[in-house]
Amino acid sequence: MRLSFRKTFAVNRINSTIRQLVNLTIGLMFQKLFHYGIITLSNCHIHTLSHKQNKIMKVLILCTGNSCRSQMAHGFLQSFDPNIIVRSAGTEASGKLNPKAVAVMKEAGIDISHHTSDSVDLYLGEEWDYVITVCGGANESCPAFTGKVKQRLHMGFDDPSHTVGTDEFIRSEFIRVRDEIKEGFYKLYIQQIKPQL
């Protein structure tokens, strides 16, 4: 009888010690979470918070046919930050991507083959942080965007789809324009877009 009592007492003591250790561990864990601002108490509920509330940036890239330059710019900007909402469109959307643009982007490690060539009308009802036109020479009219936008930018690039000459020369022009687009949009991302996120 006495042994049974001692055994029960010992088990209870062990259980009590374990509970205290568990409570202490949980308490220290929550203390750290509060200290670093990972969680906070609001209206007696615990809400998880990121250390920084990231802004969702929306960027629309426009050209005429939405088959080449705007598609390459779309692919590059999205690759710089997958959390940015990037779309591209054209005032006279061709309905298909230029296969040479798809090929040179693939060589750069970016697959745009799943993109669609869309009309700008699809996006007029949305509000955008940036609308960027990428049309090039003086003989080319840039598309106008009549929807809500916080900032309009123009970044002109030659249209490689109008290049004539040997296959090698045409390909070199697609690569040149691709690289110019990458450089221009990376600079835009680093200097203007990223600081706002």
Which candidate in 57, 60, 61, 63 is catalytic?
A: 63
Q: Beta strand 58-63 with 85-90: parallel, antiparallel or unpaired?
A: parallel
Residue 68 known to be catalytic: no
147 is written with which tokens?
Answer: 């929807």
Contact 27, 41 (CB under 8 A): no
137 is written with which tokens?
Answer: 């020479």
Q: How many CB atoms lie within 10 A of CB 192?
A: 13
What is the SS3 assignment for 129? Answer: strand
What is the SS3 assignment for 150? Answer: strand
Residue 135 known to be catalytic: yes
Which candidate in 84, 93, 135, 149 is catalytic?
A: 135
Which candidate in 142, 153, 170, 175 is catalytic?
A: 142
Residue 44 known to be catalytic: no
182 is written with which tokens?
Answer: 């990458």
Q: Which residues form the catalytic set?
A: 63, 135, 142
